Chains A and B, each alone.
Chain A
């Protein structure tokens, strides 16, 4: 069997470390339980299944013709004074964004939350060009000063307790220790306010872009998104090609589904619809608006059998309900996108040769598929990618031998019984070789049901 071309992810060791960390486990449990509760409260009495059907159809339409929607968007956004860039790879995106900033002489950059910029490792690149990049979403800011990566796509610092954040602020921001969220938020707010006022460029993500109006849309809760997209003279939106909505008329559906699924809010706190650059005579908005639409393998995914993962609206509901994610948090996945959608997307974006261990990060319980607001068939995709792993040979030799033996025994009851008898005979040995598996099972009986039935 093959081992990865590169270094493949050591998911089990990562998971073990997470499980041995009581602070992380408590933080994960509290946060995911609270999100699950809020989500189910927020959909009570709502025609949620009907919305899901509509959203699923809508997103299926989009991923059936991504390039068509990119084209339409580019025409309409350009008409409103935006500059639209389509980029193929992460490297192309980094180079382009670096060049735009350099050309404009930008030095201080404020960012609002964007997972696509995490995917392309943008901050590191910009810092290597000598630029100063500040994350302004509170969770992202915490992660940035801690020198970490987000462990959830919506709640980047979900794995941290407030005590940890208090100590981090105390150490990095030279303030007095507090674990009071209000005090901590005010500390960050004071610092970030100065950053907004002095920044010469902004980078944001987008929750969707609208083809028929040429708009990009941001759902935020802290107001930082609004500051970032209106104050600095230069604004670069970085998003990925599949995030289209055909029409502005589709937006209300997303406004109902996304906040409820993500954080259990019935409405997002801030909704920014940015249509083009600042118009002559207008008081706010970026004078120069660049919109970077990243492909990075998505066109190929859209042509293949796993395309439905691109319906994903990045709400994080699948993470909040996933028992595995809820136990270990996002860092164990060692990839930009964790949890059920992350396992699938990482396998497809990063290649099975690197990501195949992540396919074990699921019990196939199906809670993710049930929660998904756009009906991505997450469970089906997890089954199918495990099949792909076997087809491509990224499974373990001992496992495929065992399965081949199973194939023989499954066809013949006598061989099957012989298997049961030898399992019983070799039970202690098996327990010695694999204590965490075998010793958790009872010893096989010598009077099987087959023998007892009369």
Chain B
């Protein structure tokens, strides 16, 4: 099987090791991973800020770069939701582009979605885990894509590790893309609450499927003096292979 990987801006720019973990995992299951070099950004930031024209430019580029019939894997709930839910909406008045957007949307999977629904990775499980792990359920992943159980099924399939649910796991961490820049005080206060929820679980690691949230949580963790590691789910799973 072949997939096209959309790494996302945040992974490309700030967390390349998460991208490497995704590739390692996919290859482990015998998947041939291609990385279209012309990829840029999915257009989520302008789309959330109300800049439809600029979002459309990014979407057009994405649709032309991610040509073909292979599944597209994205290690981010918010970018995957951008492609799956918002692309068709951006072209609702342009029938030809709308059909293309719909086709790309159908081929797109958020990373944990792909691991569970296509590769059934939770069935074979991960042999080498350790420590206690909790999970932050990011907003677009949960409420726009409806991906709620997949990351938890994957975490529960790690041998040697213990998944501990946190309170208010699906409450927003305060990142919100442009929100973190426009309303930093609220954003930081919400991230502090998230850190409190993590601390209550007494885990070694908090994981999630969106680097936006994880970045905000890392920052709050530093402010609060640490106490646990913050890792993308792909990194947690790749380490447990």
Contact = CB atoms under 8 A, between A and B. Distances in A.
Interface of A: 12, 15-16, 19, 25, 323-324, 327-328, 359-367, 369-370, 379, 383, 385-390, 395, 399-400, 403-404, 406-407, 409-413, 416, 420, 423, 434, 436-437, 440-442, 444-445, 447-450, 452-453
A363 B139 contact: yes
- Report whether over half of chain B's contact residues are helix, strand or loop; otherwise say mixed: helix
A19 B13 CA distance: 32
B176 A363 contact: yes
A449 B16 contact: yes
B215 interface: yes
Contacts of B219: 440-441
Nearest to B220: A440
Given A19-B189, A327-B186, A437 B40 contact: no
B95 interface: no
B179 interface: yes
Contact of B19 (A328, A369, A386, A449): A449
Specify which of B37, B49, B189 lies most central, judged by the most chain A CB atoms within 10 Å of its CB: B49
Given A420-B13, A441-B215, A410 B180 contact: no
24 contacts: A323-B190, A324-B183, A327-B193, A363-B179, A364-B48, A364-B176, A364-B179, A366-B144, A367-B143, A367-B172, A379-B143, A385-B50, A387-B51, A388-B50, A390-B51, A399-B49, A403-B49, A407-B46, A411-B57, A412-B61, A413-B40, A416-B40, A440-B215, A442-B14
Contact of A12 (B45, B46, B183, B193): B183
Contacts of B181: 434, 437
A428 to B, nearest CB: 16
B43 interface: yes
Contact of B51 (A12, A15, A403): A403
Contacts of B186: 15, 19, 324, 327-328
B179 A406 contact: no
Contacts of B35: 450, 453
Given A390-B50, A410-B58, A442-B15, 6 more contacts: A323-B172, A416-B40, A436-B184, A440-B180, A448-B13, A453-B35
A365 B169 CA distance: 13
A440 B41 contact: no
Contact of A410 (B57, B179, B185): B57
A411 B50 contact: no
Interface in B1-35: 7, 11-16, 19-20, 23, 35
B185 A16 contact: yes
A448 to B, nearest CB: 5
B14 A453 contact: no
Contact of B20 (A324, A367, A383, A452): A452
Contacts of B7: 449-450, 453
Contacts of B157: none
Specify which of B14, B35, B180 lies most central, judged by the most chain A CB atoms within 10 Å of its CB: B14
B179 A416 contact: no
A390 to B, nearest CB: 4
Contacts of A25: 189
Contacts of B11: 449
Given A406-B45, A406-B46, A440 B171 contact: no
A327 B40 contact: no
Interface residues of B, number: 59
B108 interface: no
Contact of A383 (B41, B50, B139): B50
A448 B12 CA distance: 5
B196 to A, nearest CB: 10
A444 B13 contact: yes
B38 interface: yes
Contacts of B45: 403, 406
A410 B175 contact: no
B39 interface: yes
Contacts of B174: 323, 363
Contacts of A434: 181
Given A363-B174, A437-B180, A450 B37 contact: yes
A367 B140 CA distance: 10
Contacts of A413: 37-40
Contacts of A379: 143
B52 interface: yes
A19 to B, nearest CB: 5
Nearest to B184: A436
Specify which of A361, A395, A434, A449 lies most central, judged by the most chain B CB atoms within 10 Å of its CB: A449
Nearest to B39: A413
A103 B140 CA distance: 56
A366 B52 CA distance: 19
Interface string B35-73: 101111101011111111110011011000000000000
Given A383-B48, A440-B188, A365 B19 contact: no
B16 to A, nearest CB: 4
Contacts of B50: 359, 383, 385-390, 395
